[in-house]
Amino acid sequence: MIFTVAIDGPAAAGKGTISRAVAARFGFHHLDTGLLYRAVGALGGDPVAAARGLTAADLARDDLRSLAAGQAASRVAAIPEVRAALVEFQRRFARREGGAVLDGRDIGTVICPEAEVKLYVTASPEVRARRRWLEVGGDEARVLAEVRERDARDMGRAEAPLRPAAEAVVLDTSVLTAEEAVAEATRLVAARLAGG
């Protein structure tokens, strides 16, 4: 069975948690596409060459969840040649046998416009900054400033800006627990699998 779930949204909205849970629930393959961009950014040097030569080992680095890696990912994701180098990898992954869940910034709009389910997971900048701060520490006001800066860059870039796909179901997790958000996403996927 080929079945794609595209989950997009800004940083720290909960899309990773939801994506992993949905993939586990339905036995689908999972790809956090942000890891591709984080790895390219963390490798340093020429980002286009890094994207073209990305390996599985690069995706297993310990430092890919850091704030610095997230900022680097946002910067390299704005480079059209980097995006082009990673698009085909993502598309092949999405249409593999057994179903796939991909989470990122442009899955439903650019990578997999044919996805059977499209979700846009969001939350207020303040809620997302608090979540990120609890995860990585540091100065909370600075984390909020970085979240807003990253949102502006991701939503304002010329190539594949962050926005909900026209058919996406918007899931605002500002006031939802992780369990409630996962339950709603799972319900939506199950309904589509059942032909709804």
| Distances, alpha carbon 71 to alpha carbons 11, 30, 55, 146, in Å | 10, 23, 21, 8
**Annotation-wise, does 11 bind a ligand?**
yes
- Helix boundaries (H) for 44-193: 47-52, 56-59, 67-77, 80-94, 125-136, 140-156, 178-193
β-pairing, 117-122 vs 169-172, is: parallel
Q: According to the annotation, is 15 in a ligand binding site?
A: yes
Phi, psi of 15 (to 5 degrees): -65, -35
Distance (Å, rounded) from C-alpha 28 to C-alpha 77? 26
14 carries a ligand binding annotation: yes
Is 55 annotated as belonging to a binding site?
no
Would the annotation count 100 as a binding residue? no
16 is in an annotated binding site: yes
Query: Does 13 appear as a known binding residue?
Result: yes
Q: List the binding residues.
A: 9-17
Q: List the binding residues for ATP.
A: 9-17
